[in-house]
Structure 1
Amino acid sequence: MKYGIIGAGAMGYRYGVMLQENAGVDVDFIDTWGPNVAKVREQGGVDVARDHQNHHVVPINIYYPEEYQGHPDVWIVFKKQMQLADELKRDASLFHEDQYVFAAMNGMGHFEKIAQYFPENHIIGGTAMIATVLNGPGTVDFMGPKGSEAMHMSKYAGHIDTTTKQVMADFKAADLNPIWSDNFMGMCMSKVVFNAVTNSLCTMFEIQMGQFIEYPGVKDMATQMFNEAYDACERAGIKLIETRQEEIDSVETVSRAYKYHYPSMYQDFSKGRPTEVDYINGYIAKIGREHDYVCRVHEFVTHEVHLAEMMRQYRHPEIPVAEK
């Protein structure tokens, strides 16, 4: 099978490079960020490291949408939620009736947009517990030891078919370690509620996941936020694929495994970009409101992250305090 990556960012590079190098399949990358495309072409590929070590350039094919002439069997989409609608519109001429699409983006809201361009039974959803950092144009850092990758897959509509089985087989060969689920919404929301704790709180305090888990009150904070999210989902008829306790335990397990990782929301925040909090904590709060349940903590955290975004304009260099 041939794959086309829409969005040559942190996760787009991770999936594309691992499919190309480990599974031996053909991969093309589509991107619209000029400095990224230029850097890859200049250095002959993407600079890949793992946990800041063993930098090496992996040759890849990268194109702007307007110059691409290929016809992948499956598109893999990794864009920020706020950018997706414009990206799909720009790429629309590349989409064909026989193609499938896979997306494992953070937050919720992207599948409805993708369904405007692809048949619902050609859409494969996923969640990825895979930490990756885009250090700059054309350079990416895979976080965590080899074999630590973990992800889930499910069909947006319909049953698992031949193409979907082949995608899963390629992901296995790529060492992405996919697990199949027949519970699409439960799969998606299990990742959303996890990110609603780690991503949002690490972003507000500008800390790595390993620093976050050092605070002894993390378990109590996570329990409160997970309970609220699970209560909202239960009222909406959504059964998550992990229990409340499994989600609570995963905060410590994942945070320690990726102790040097800054979550993707912080990566956006630190670069002055809008965050995806509306599609994570805000989405949980939306589910609650739609089912007569107020998610007070998630409503508050959504506002607090937006407040932190706005406060960036008032930052000044620290002024040394004179000793008395």
Structure 2
Amino acid sequence: MKIAIAGFGALGSRLGVKLQHAGHEVTGIDGWPAHIAAINTDGLTVIHEDQAPKKYFVPIVTPTEVTGEYDLIILLTKTPQLDRMLSDIANIITQKTKLLVLSNGLGNIEVIEKHVGRDQILAGVTLWTSSLVKPGEIHTTGTGSIKLQAVGNADVNPIVEALNQANLNVEVTDDVLKAIWHKAGINSVLNPLSVLLDANILEFGTAGNAMDLALHILNEIQKVGASQGIKVDIPGIMSDLTNLLAPENAGNHYPSMYQDIQNGKYTEIDFLNGYFAKIGRQENIDTPFNALITNLIHAKEDIERVKLAKQKETFEI
């Protein structure tokens, strides 16, 4: 299968390597010049846990440079940039192309519907993890899975078969919105709290009040979900959080928001905790924890960007 991965960062790179290894023709699409140059020059370096580094050569181009026709485009672009990405790669999307969105956060399906029909859209969630430590190098831990569903009437079987050839542990669900809210609940705990506590997932779990913090966030999300007709399964989310703490799963992983902050990027907080706080305001539901976390992450974004700018000025001098 000919597959493009739009958003070839930490997770996109990991999935791309696995799909290429399974025999699929994979092209990465990304907008970070240093990352593109590193991969196209020296290959993608992958370090899995304590194993020796391995090199993989996956072609990668910018969104405006990509050409050809693709059977599947996996969308891992962060939600704030998704609309722009789809506009830039419009020339490679045919009526036969399926788009599978695995990006974190809520609101992605609505954005994609502006560009293609519902029968071309697959929505999913993934528990695969990866860390982009520098341009052209990722560190991976544990294993993961993917749940997906056709938004319209697309035949998902060829896609599922192709992804499972790469051992991506794909499962078809009949309630992807519930799964997306489930994953958003997990991310609304682990992503911002890893930033605010300067901790990976395992370190977060060592905090005596870690699960109390999680419950405060999730109780608000459950109330917001009920107002939207979504049943948020708090015990299920808490069970998944507990499993993710284990080193063999994702315990040694620093979530993507932590990585974004370290790299001076804006985060997806407005499509996680911020999304729930916004809906809460609209529905007159109190969400003080999610609102506070959103404001703290925005403050952290500003602080870290100023620090990085000063470091750059010092280096240039």
TM-score (norm 1): 0.89
Structure 1 equivalent of residue 46 of structure 2? 48
Using a 3 Å threshold, how does the CA distance of structure 1 residues 71 and 305 change in structure 2: closer, same or farther? same
Could you tell me which runs of 5 or more consecutive residues in structure 2 were left unpaired when the two chains were aligned: 312-317
Q: For residue 93 of structure 1, what is the aligned residue in structure 2?
A: 91
Amino acid at match of 1:3: I
**Which letter maps to 1:177?**
N
Task: After superposition, give the CA deviation of every residue in 1:163-195 in whole Å (9 maximum; x if it has no partner).
Answer: x11111112221111121111211111000111
Counterpart Cα distance in 2 of 1:179 and 1:97: 25
2:116 is aligned with 1:118: yes
CA contact (8 A) 1:233 1:287 kept: no
Aligned to 2:145: 150
Q: 1:129 aligns with which of 127, 130, 134?
A: 127
Work out the CA distance in 1 between the residues paired with 2:297 and 2:27: 35
1:314 deviates by 6.6
What amino acid sits opposite 2:251 in the alignment? K
| Pair 1:51–1:282, CA change in 2 (3 A) | same
1:299 is aligned to 291
Paired residues for 1:1-324 under 5 Å: 1-21=1-21, 23-43=22-42, 45-51=43-49, 53-144=51-142, 148-156=143-151, 158-159=152-153, 161-162=154-155, 164-240=156-232, 243-256=233-246, 257-312=249-304, 313=306
| Distance across 2 between alignment mates of 1:288 and 1:186 | 18
How far the C-alpha of 1:155 sits from its partner, in A, is 2.0
Where does the alignment leave 5 or more consecutive residues of structure 1 unmatched? 318-324
| Letter of the structure 1 residue corresponding to residue 4 of structure 2 | G
SS across alignment from 2:52: strand
One-letter amino acid of the structure 2 residue matched with residue 103 of structure 1: V
C-alpha displacement of 1:286 = 2.3
1:40, distance to aligned residue in structure 2 (A): 1.4
Deviation at 1:68, TM superposition (A): 2.8
TM-score w.r.t. structure 2 length?
A: 0.91
8 Å CA contact retained: 1:210, 1:260: yes
Q: What CA distance in whole angstroms lies between the structure 2 residues aligned with 1:118 and 1:149?
A: 29
Identity among equivalent positions (%) equals 28
Q: CA–CA distance in 1 between the matches of 2:121 and 2:33?
A: 28
Report the 3-state secondary structure (helix = DSSP H, G, I; strand = E; otherwise coil) of the residue aligned with 1:88.
Answer: helix
Letter in 1 for 2:39: V
Distance in 1 separating the partners of 2:113 and 2:99: 10
- Cα deviation digits, residues 234-284 of structure 1 (max 9, x gap): 1210124xx211211222220223222111001001111111111100111
Separation in 1 of the partners of 2:66 and 2:268?
29
Question: Residue deviations 1:106-150, cap 9 Å, x none?
Answer: 111222222221111211111111110112221112222xxx212
Runs of 4+ aligned structure 1 residues displaced above 6 Å come to 314-317
Q: Which amino acid aligns with 1:183?
A: D
Instruction: Give the drift of 1:52.
Output: 5.1
Q: Is the 8 A contact 2:79 2:108 kept in 1?
A: yes
Instruction: Supply the distance in 2 between the matched residues of 1:295 and 1:265 (Cα, whole angstroms).
Output: 21
Instruction: Give distance in 1, aligned partners of 2:100 and 2:127.
Output: 16
Q: Distance in 2 between matches of 1:179 and 1:222?
A: 26
Per the alignment, residue 321 of structure 1 pairs with: none
CA–CA separation in structure 2 for the residues paired with 1:94 and 1:259 = 37
Matching residue's letter, 1:247: I
